[in-house]
Chain A
Amino acid sequence: DAGVIQSPRHEVTEMGQEVTLRCKPISGHDYLFWYRQTMMRGLELLIYFNNNVPIDDSGMPEDRFSAKMPNASFSTLKIQPSEPRDSAVYFCASSGGVQGIQFFGPGTRLTVL
């Protein structure tokens, strides 16, 4: 298995632009998590899905952020419009069961100028 796949690995954009981050979980995993990591706030859980259904999105910072999981093999995290304070590394992880070990993707480093 290739593990959790994220794209792009790096994204540089200008303030106000729409940004879409993509994630392909490990086949057979029924949980998918989106995290954000910054120096100031550390690792934060944004949202997670079970069987493609959002379970908890209380970590999503504001309405500019949205996440979807249209099927078991694909999820997106969208920021519209982006702001410089959104600059961070965004990780996607998947697990078999909410109590299971989470497997992390390599992350997307987002820079908003």
Chain B
Amino acid sequence: AQTVTQSQPEMSVQEAETVTLSCTYDTSESDYYLFWYKQPPSRQMILVIRQEAYKQQNATENRFSVNFQKAAKSFSLKISDSQLGDAAMYFCAYYEGDSSYKLIFGSGTRLLVRP
């Protein structure tokens, strides 16, 4: 069965600095998708960034970028120029596509941003 592991329960970063959140996953599939979702306190989960496994190029969305290492089954999220509004729970998620439909989430990393 596919699993997603986030080994950092909590991370802290100074405003304007850079932080990297780690995620590893286990799968025997070659085609899949990986996501990072942000869940602010008492607010809905929103998609931060997605990566298709067949793409070698790492995805980037403004201040957010990923380091996708397919062979190592690693998918880390880098947040540059951290802002107070980045404080939230961050979840890494795996999606196999139409063979399964469901997202498999890690346990999350709480990101604190110090002013």
A, B assembled together: no
Q: Which residues of A contact B (CB under 8 A)?
A: none
Q: Which residues of B contact A (CB under 8 A)?
A: none
